[in-house]
Chain A
């Protein structure tokens, strides 16, 4: 259901052609947002998501951009703003893993992961804040990870990127709070997506819920943080992990 009284605008979800991003896009569309569905290479997936949203009576636009490209914001925002108005909900979801133990990790594996998971959210957030500050309304939700909060050997680069994203979240939140813009993170545990393939079995035993989460369970939290109801939730990280870090 659409929130009453919120300014006109749209949502942008990065990495939304599948998995958690697609579920978030579907959820925000259900909440009445026109949604920009960003993808890097999976145009079929993105178009399928757009098709689902439109079939459900929503509005959506597929937007190709590699978020790690410094010019990505210029590719993402103008088409959305022209068609749907300012981006008032931004979900920095696009992420990648290149796992390996730190003693053997190549610079390239470090750089790629930090660029995609941390630098890109910074650049896209910076661009989004212009419209949000002007509108005196904005919701930014960064998809972090419990790996940003606790050790997970083999993921030093991913962990550093997600820990950085959590710190980035709280700092930017404090900077822009008085413009009625909120910036929060969601830190999923193990979620059943392509990104987590191959690491599930070992971790399942450590999860009190004894199962992986679903993309829809992550999306539900993002929908709350993006809603007007969450207007006083700012700078925090919502852990969604089936009790794994409890």
Chain B
């Protein structure tokens, strides 16, 4: 399982979002899911990647609070530390 610093997490999250179809230039910390055309299935897949690679569970109730790219990076970084 990967240990993670924030830059690496940002890189991995960006890579995942681009693979779902998001425009790489639009993937910024402040970008919200709607603006990136990232839907609920994409977020399920992102949570699977995060669990597999960082051992961090992003549950459905967590996802309600994670509204932007930055939120997701901060959430993963925080949980990956503990």
Q: Is the CB of B48 within 8 A of A176?
A: no
Q: A179 → chain B, closest Cβ, in Å?
A: 7
> Which of these, A130, A134, A175, contacts B41 with CB under 8 Å?
A175
> Which A residues lie within 8 Å of B45 (CB)?
133-134, 179
Chain B interface residue number, banded: under 10
- Classify chain A's interface size: under 10
Q: Please name all residues of chain B whose beta carbon is closer than 8 Å to the beta carbon of A178 when the two chains form the complex.
A: 41
12 A-B pairs with CB atoms under 8 Å apart are A130-B48, A133-B41, A133-B44, A133-B45, A133-B48, A134-B45, A134-B48, A175-B41, A176-B41, A178-B41, A179-B41, A179-B45
Bound CA–CA A133/B43 (angstroms): 12
Which A residues are closer than 8 A to B by beta carbons? 130, 133-134, 175-176, 178-179
Residue of B nearest to A176 (CB): B41
Q: How far is the CB of B21 from chain A (nearest CB, A)?
A: 9
A107 to B48, CA, bound (A): 36
Interface of B is mostly: helix
Query: Closest CB of chain A to B55's CB: distance in Å?
Result: 15
Chain A residues lying within 8 Å of B48, measured Cβ to Cβ, are 130, 133-134
Interface positions of B (Cβ within 8 A of A): 41, 44-45, 48
User: How many inter-chain residue pairs (CB < 8 Å) link A and B?
Assistant: 12
Query: In whole angstroms, how far apart are the Cα atoms of A133 and B41 in the complex?
Result: 10
A221 to B44, CA, bound (A): 31
Q: How far is the CB of A244 from chain B (nearest CB, A)?
A: 37
Q: Which residues of B contact A176 (CB under 8 A)?
A: 41
Q: Chain B contacts of A134 at CB under 8 A?
A: 45, 48
Residues of A within 8 A of B44 (CB): 133
Give A130 to B45 CA distance when docked, in angstroms: 8
Tell me, in angstroms, the Cα distance from A175 to B45 when the chains sit together: 12
Q: Which residue of A lies closest to B39 (CB)?
A: A178
- New A-B pairs, 5, CB < 8 Å, besides A133-B44, A175-B41, A176-B41: A130-B48, A133-B41, A133-B45, A134-B45, A134-B48
What are the residues of chain A within 8 A of B41 when measuring CB–CB? 133, 175-176, 178-179
B14 CB, nearest partner CB in chain A, Å: 18
Q: Would you give the shortest CB distance from A132 to chain B, in whole angstroms? A: 11
| Bound Cα distance from A179 to B45, whole angstroms | 10
> A27: shortest Cβ distance to chain B, in Å?
30
Q: How far is the CB of A207 from chain B (nearest CB, A)?
A: 41
Give the shortest distance, in Å, between A82 (CB) and chain B (any CB): 15
* CB proximity of A227 to chain B, nearest CB, Å: 24
A130 and B52 CA atoms in complex are apart in Å by 10
- Minimum CB distance partner of B52 in chain A: A130
CB nearest neighbor in B for A175? B41
The CA-CA distance from A21 to B44 in the complex, in Å, is: 31
Q: CA A179 – CA B41 in complex, angstroms?
A: 9
